[in-house]
Amino acid sequence: MPLEELTGLLTPLPRFRAAQIFKWIAGGVCGFAEMGNLPLSLRDELAGRFLLRPGVVEEQYPGDDGTVKLALRFDAASKIEAVLLPGHSRRKAAPGGYTACLSTQAGCPAGCVFCKTGALGFLRNLSSAEIVEQFLLLRKIAQENAGPPGEAPGRPIANIVVMGMGEPLLNLAELRRALNVITSPGGMDFSRRRITVSTCGIAGGIIDLADNGPAVRLALSLTSADESLRRRLMPLTKSHSLADVKEACAYFQKRTGGRITLEVVLLGGINTSREDAAGIAQFAGNIDAVVNLIPWNPVPGLAFEGMPLHSPSAEEVKVFKGYLESLGMNVTCRFRRGRGVMGACGQLGALSVH
């Protein structure tokens, strides 16, 4: 709950009490009894009236590459996942800060054929409390994980990516409320510049985010700039034309000044031709953008128009990257972390880890 709402809820308590409680929650306490600077009677009253931390961790999957995937249950009908991804320092080979990948919905309505979460269908939106809870749990794991030899254990979460289960801009009100809590100077004080929200292209949501904040980074899951192919790969985009999405992205950039990431999931033999690259470059015209190539992470059973999906070869990725660069695009390739625990892009919802 944002501090201003918490203050109003706890009236007639003095404002400083709400600030104390907000700070304790930001610190990750699990119960009101841990709030040592509150009177005992107040702690007992709060415990009787409110639930502090929602959800239960059902499974924790540690990966060989340092990734940790959590399977969380917030109600009897739905289970969601959140992922802690290891980072590396740009200055040296030593590990850097973590990235927390958060979910905004149980399941997903987008139905992207290359994504396991999309195959689950849509169950419900998550509340702001359930979104914040994911961050608190991942932060605790990051703080407790062993550090490099000779250094104290634990590394910070350096970045948040809202790229987990669900379409964030279809749950923007709760996401906005959650990010208010996570970025509040009186609490967790996480930098908005280190938060990226990914969308499959909800044009109205992009404009809403530009106008009403929070001022975070934007990533567009583009995958293809061929309108027909994109609609077949990503069914939700049928109601959001590429022209409308591009206009919304340009508006977002004008309002915020931030560079936009165009995420392209590369599917072997489907969207890796020279023509596909030319379409992406044309879409990106007049937008300050970087293209992030994501070689498809395997998920058993997923197919496109009757043919099983497969990852592109290393050569296919290299050639496609070259096509884009020859057209003047700034291109990066996403490092494949989390595949060992089915925690990489497109794999969330594949709960059976082998």
- Residue 353 within a domain: no
Q: What is the pLDDT of residue 334?
A: 81
Judge if 43 and 94 occupy the same domain: no
Ramachandran region, residue 57 (left: φ > 0; alpha: ψ -120 to 50; beta: rest): beta
Q: Are 31 and 44 in contact (CB under 8 A)?
A: no
How many angstroms separate the CA atoms of 67 and 86, rounded?
6
Judge if 84 and 203 occupy the same domain: yes
Q: What is the pLDDT of residue 95?
A: 53
| Residue type for position 228 | S
- Specify burial of residue 36 (Cβ count, 10 A radius: 0-12, 13-18, 19+): exposed
Judge if 198 and 147 occupy the same domain: yes
Judge if 103 and 23 occupy the same domain: no
Final residue belonging to a domain, choices 32, 49, 66: 49
How many angstroms separate the CA atoms of 72 and 152, rounded?
29
Angle (deg, nearest 10), helices 242-256 and 203-212: 10
Give 10-residue mean pLDDT values along the chain (354 residues).
Answer: 94 95 96 97 96 89 90 90 79 66 96 94 96 96 71 79 97 97 95 97 98 96 98 95 97 95 97 98 95 94 95 96 97 76 76 44
CB-based burial, 243-266: b 16+ in 10 Å, e otherwise:
ebbbebbeebbeebebebbbbbbb
Q: What is the pLDDT of residue 89?
A: 46
Judge if 41 and 65 occupy the same domain: no
Judge if 88 and 25 occupy the same domain: no
Number of domains composing the chain = 2
Element (H, E) at 79: strand 79-85
How many angstroms separate the CA atoms of 59 and 251, rounded?
41
* String of DSSP letters for 225-291: S-HHHHHHHSGGGGGS-HHHHHHHHHHHHHHH-PPEEEEEEE-TTTS-SHHHHHHHHHHTTTS-EEE
Judge if 40 and 184 occupy the same domain: no
- Residue 274 within a domain: yes
- Residue 26: CB atoms within 10 A of its CB come to 19
Judge if 142 and 61 occupy the same domain: yes
Q: What is the pLDDT of residue 340?
A: 62
- Residue 350 within a domain: no
Active site residues: 81, 345
Question: For residue 37, what are the domain limits?
Answer: 3-49
Phi then psi for residue 350, to 5 deg, are -85, 85
- Residue 232 within a domain: yes
- Residue 354 within a domain: no
Closest CA to 222 of 211, 209, 208, 206: 206
